[in-house]
Structure 1
Amino acid sequence: MTEPVPVIRRLEQALADDDFAWSLLLVGEDQTDKLATLTGDLRGPFSKTGDGKQITSGFSYWGIGPTIAWANATNDPFYLVMKAGTESFLRHWRKLRPHVENGGFHLVSLGVGTGVKDRTILGDMRRQNPDMFYIPVDMSSEMLRLGTVEPVRGAHFPMSQVLPVQLDFSLDDNMDELGQMLARLVGADPILFTLTGNTLANFESDEDVLSTITRVLRPQDRLLLEVASTSSLDRDAAKAAADEYHQTRAFAEFVTSALRYNTDLKIDNDRIDFRGEVENDDALRVKIVWQNNTGEPIVMGLPDHTEVVLDPEDTILLYTTRKFSTERLKRLTAACDLTPIEHAHSGFRHTRRPSPFGLDLLLLAPGTVEGPAVTTLADDIWST
């Protein structure tokens, strides 16, 4: 009696010559649990400062409405942070690429985004490792479908080597399970994990999230981290950071989309406030909040058909982002026991006046990497 053929292998053969837009997805979480979490976050206490009710990072992209709003925002020429990141990435990647293109790496993309940067990475790495796997990970299954189109079609990457994974990678247990699954999938082969697009800046605690990711890195693995940076940490710089996001309507539509599609709250852009502040003397933080400035209570219906009262001046935190100083990056990497291997930086060029803002791409290794050249480079990176 012959052994049965696993369904995954049969499915690969069945879809090989099919022109229909199929997409394979490994779901790692119960979506009802995610909806309950979102609902609970929207029941938070009263706060004028955005520290009560909130939409946490992954939920900003969760669902088809926010996904479409994000896609529209990324194509808005007035969304300068996104535009600068797309333009600088290829130049930055070329500097870091020699450290990973010949090692037989697989690619695990944390927070797939539009897929444009993954397309660049895959196009280069697959030339040296044609059998590599591409594993995009995101909390939003809709973002995964949107974000994998560009790298698969643009880089002509075979679908049989792509495994999208729906998972909230900011949770310790989830990352532990992901790490175990990846180890069984690729064995001892090295993995390049990527966290690009300044995604680290969107979480309440950047150190906690970076530590969660670091816990699954093996000695042979590497982490590609892209962040927005600043050389100035005063109130004027904080205001300028907030203004960057305020000037694009498409971005405002995106940050309010989770409220629009998960509650019955009427969205008025006059109630959206972009607040810049200096955080811990080593970063700029921008908090985007909805605030009840009507002077009257507003009743908001929640996904579980219950209601919450938004008193005058109450807020809902919609989105958080940051710009990191060199000292903040140094502290984060040290706290997470990460060693810089290579680094690329470029300043913003779209302003007439000198800008303190820029973008940094870092290639990081877990623990201490042996060799005097690496030690010297790490010292050089943090001395700039």
Structure 2
Amino acid sequence: MRTALVIGTGLMGTSAALALVSRGVEVYLEDHDPSVARTAAALGAGSALPPEGQVDLVVVAVPPAHVAATLADAQRRGLARGYLDVASVKAGPRRDLQALGCDLSRYIGTHPMAGRERSGPLAGTADLFEGRPWVLTPTRETGTEVLNLALELVALCRAVPVVMDADEHDRAVALVSHTPQLVSSMVAARLQHAEDTAVRLCGQGIRDVTRIAGSEPGMWMDILAANPGPVADVLAEVATDLTGAVEALRGLQSADEDKRRTGAAGIEDILLRGNAGRDRVPGKHGTAPKAYEVVAVLIGDQPGELARIFADAGAAGVNIEDVRIEHSTGQQAGRVQLMVEPAAAPGLTSALRDRGWSIRS
């Protein structure tokens, strides 16, 4: 691929453009708001001027509801040899493209499984897709040329190609992406009018659960409006569990021993099923999840502290597999949880203590 046109220069489009430019592809940018395209161009994502001739690939990076019209217009203008979109829903846009009479032999629906809570070109990064799954949804109508162009795009963005059926994809993202967004938002909404004394007690658990609740509502309205059925199906299952949890907790309040026993069993069942589901979430590099040992270290909230602890771990010959930070309420300090292979934990603990770090249990 030598040339590409990215239509839609928000987070996804700008990130794809930045990745392509970094790999030597000549990229052109287009957006319904020319000032947004110029912003992306100023960031080094390509040129906001129109291409002089046909490009190899058009990447449509607009909300799902606008994919079909945007792509149909691009095909009418004869902009490229191949066309794809990166919207988070796949079945609906494809049906719309069929209805508009688009040439589906030169189109493939795709979805990179990456994103951020922020949107717009300023949030774009060239490494957004690195190591992330990038779903391709070819059909019998998909031509070899556009499929190869899509695979080349995925490779240039250093993502991992995953082939799925469009409907299967939409059910999958409803489960692993769209429903979690709504659930996170609903939990966070409980805090809106909560007492200040309660909010001051917020710890890492509530921060983890509500992290994605900070996402842009407009973007998520577009996504959810394009995939309502599968999301509603998953939410209905969650609602069944919630109803069961409420009944079980009411049982635990009862003076009746049988009701308390039944309630305890119901809550335990939910927690155990949650453990089992969490264990299926892929670990590093998409491999089976591992159980790591946690080495918790007290760290000051000042420049250079994280770099120093990482350097000390490296000097001890220990690879940090994952890291979390818990901020201490009312203190200029926090607890860094360094996750390492179990065999490495004792040596790391000893080495960090020798270097003056305070280890917490």
TM-score, with length taken from structure 2: 0.27
Work out which structure has the larger RCO, using CA pairs closer than 8 Å and 6 or more positions apart in sequence: 1
User: In proportion to residue count, which structure has more strand?
Assistant: 1
More helix by share: 2
TM-score in terms of structure 1 length? 0.26
